[in-house]
Chains A and B, each alone.
Chain A
Amino acid sequence: MSLNRETTASLIVMAALLSTVLWAEATGEPFTITLATRAAIFALAGIGLNLALGMGGMVSLGHAVFFGIGGYAMGILASHAQTFTPLTTWPILIEGTNAMPVIWLVAVISSALAALAIGALTLRTSGVYFIMITLAFGQMFYYFMTGWPAYGGEDGLSIYVRNGFPGLNTLDPIQFFAICFAFLACALWLYIRVDASPFGLTLSAARQNEARLRAVGIDPFRIRLVAFTLSGAVTGLAGALFADLNRFVSPAMFSWQTSGEIVIFVILGGVGRPIGPVVGAGLYVLLEHTLGDVSDYWQIVLGAILLAIVLFARGGLTGLVLGRPLPHG
């Protein structure tokens, strides 16, 4: 396989992230590793959204739903394991668990199902309707979790011990980072493969010209629905990891701000570029950390940067460095 520009850029950025963490480990700076883990998880959520937004042109302002569902999949399963109470006893007994692989599987399946259901409703519309409706569905889940007392309601749920993965000590920052980084690398690889696949070609055609797609006998609705579902599943996995990073879940994971932040990861880095969300999430965490130390009002600066990017640098950071994407394949 020959490396094109996008893949090369992806490898460079991933290597930079990895070396930062290895350097932090060598110099004994676990907090930097935690920041890098945070960035990797945000990047994963962003890659999920990029499947829908970048490849498919679906401007979803509701991806917090999937992030939150992934988070609560972890929170609910782990809290039951923590208190040794089963989730349900009828019709079958379901116990809680603190095994990460099971939690991931539940997170991915439940967020994919939610994305399928929400997509089936929202993808009947397009443009501004789609934006407003995805935002509204996010709010629905937010209020639902806020009002549901069984799992902490407004206050959220604390999980006291990080969940386990066979053979790893997940409480060691670098080992947990390794898990997140591995998922990020897989998601990036998935994105690049899908981008060049028949499905990716079809999806980007659905974004650019629906009439053309129909004229070759392909129904754009189903293509988008499949992409939206895949997108929700990846973002849901990120949510489960984020919950484990913080050992805490709360309705804030479902909030419109979270949806907005996931979009920002994608845009800061460069929409539709495989590595865009990784660059964007890295920049976001960096800004949050450095400016957050200087001023409580760092989001004013974030707002200004975002505004500048939208008005003057539409390809995001990756676009500034690499220029316009080429037709690939």
Chain B
Amino acid sequence: MSFVFLVEQVLNGLQFGVMLFLMAAGLTLIFGVMGLINLAHGSLYMIGAFAAAATAAATGSFLLALAAALAASALAGAVIERLVIRQLYDRDHLDQVLATFALILIFSEGARWVFGSFPLYLAIPEALSGPVTLPFGIEYPRYRLALIGIGLAVAAGLFWLISSTRIGVQIRAGEADREMIGALGVDIDRLYLLVFALGAALAGLAGALIGAIQSVQVGMGEPVLILAFVVIVIGGIGSIRGAFIGALLVGLTDTLGRVLLPGLFGLLLDPAAAASVGASLASMAIYILMAGVLIARPQGLFGSA
């Protein structure tokens, strides 16, 4: 296992991690501010991917495709916030789970109805295709490197938004005390709509960006949603910083686990058995990480007790 290969895998892990962060950030913000668990967040990811794929197919422009993904997912987020989610803020978690599960059914079957069951493909834009040469002669796909860059930029933007803007102050106030912000004269309805649409747009952006390296299809959102939950459990609910660290941990653990574990078992078992045991265990690695965090710190790494 060469150094170059290892660096490549670490970069892959980072890329996976920052994309997970885009999902987890929205989820954790929505939970932190509104106290809502949103299972339909994966559907918003899917909507972003489909909007991007359809727009790219029609116009040939990747930038327009990204814009369409952001617009479509933010709009879908705003619509469901107005029609459904708003009724759920004062309900218990069971009602929230069920209503948002119902939304998954509706969005998934709706997408199947409109786009069919076959996957769509979103091409990597010309300017970002092909490899780029990094120091030590490491060749790495330009597009994936761009994903890392975009993810880090969005993360930085989000930290800035929350720490230094008026909206950020309101969001932090909302996390601290929901009744307080109303008393301070903040328009809660508007704030909630804004936060929900922002979370939706982040999910849609992630869906579009990932859509170019995986196929775009119904059901693509939920596995990512569940990984984002693992991220939040590890990082601590409501903490953007926790979501960031958790996302990188999960991205790296998963990617490196898949590469390293089969090799590790290869030292003990014959190659075929090592490959299958290693692969099975690698698919469990992040959950084992989650279980470890739960035992040591049930409230997550950055959660308040």
Contacts and interface: CB of A to CB of B under 8 A. Distances in A.
A21 interface: no
B37 A131 contact: yes
Contact of A139 (B94, B98, B287, B291): B287
Nearest to A304: B106
Contacts of B290: 133, 136
Nearest to B42: A256
Contacts, number: 121
Nearest to B272: A149
A303 B294 contact: no
A299 B233 contact: no
A260 B109 contact: no
Interface in B167-185: none
A144 interface: yes
Nearest to A128: B37
B298 A124 contact: yes
Contacts of A298: 109
B226 A147 contact: no
Contact of B109 (A129, A144, A148, A297): A297
B79 to A, nearest CB: 14
Interface stretch (A3-11, A34-42, A183-191, A305-313): A305-313
A302 interface: yes
B276 interface: yes
Contacts of A303: 102-106, 109
Contacts of A263: 97-98, 101
Contacts of B97: 59, 61, 131, 263
B31 interface: yes
Interface string A259-270: 010011001000
A203 B158 CA distance: 43
Contact of B102 (A59, A297, A310): A310
B163 interface: no
Given A132-B233, A144-B283, A311 B99 contact: yes
A146 B283 contact: yes
Contacts of A320: none
A271 interface: yes
Interface in B23-42: 31, 37
B109 A300 contact: yes
Interface in B202-260: 222-223, 226, 229-230, 232-233, 237
Nearest to A125: B298
Contact of A147 (B87, B95, B276): B276
Given A121-B295, A144-B280, A146-B283, A139 B31 contact: no
Contacts of A302: 102, 105
B51 interface: no
A146 B284 CA distance: 11
B70 interface: no
Contacts of A311: 84, 87, 99
Contacts of A128: 31, 37, 93, 237
8 contacts: A61-B97, A124-B294, A128-B37, A132-B230, A136-B290, A263-B98, A297-B110, A307-B99
Interface of B: 31, 37, 84, 87, 91, 93-95, 97-99, 101-106, 108-110, 112-113, 222-223, 226, 229-230, 232-233, 237, 276, 279-280, 282-284, 287, 290-291, 294-295, 298
Interface of A: 53, 59, 61, 121-122, 124-125, 127-129, 131-133, 135-137, 139-140, 143-144, 146-150, 256, 260, 263-264, 267, 271, 296-300, 302-304, 306-307, 309-311, 314
Given A133-B229, A264-B101, A298-B109, 12 more contacts: A127-B93, A128-B237, A131-B93, A136-B230, A139-B226, A299-B105, A299-B106, A300-B110, A303-B102, A304-B106, A307-B106, A314-B95
Which 9 A-B pairs have CB atoms at the shortest separation, nearest pair first? A303-B105, A143-B283, A140-B287, A132-B229, A303-B106, A306-B102, A307-B102, A147-B280, A303-B102
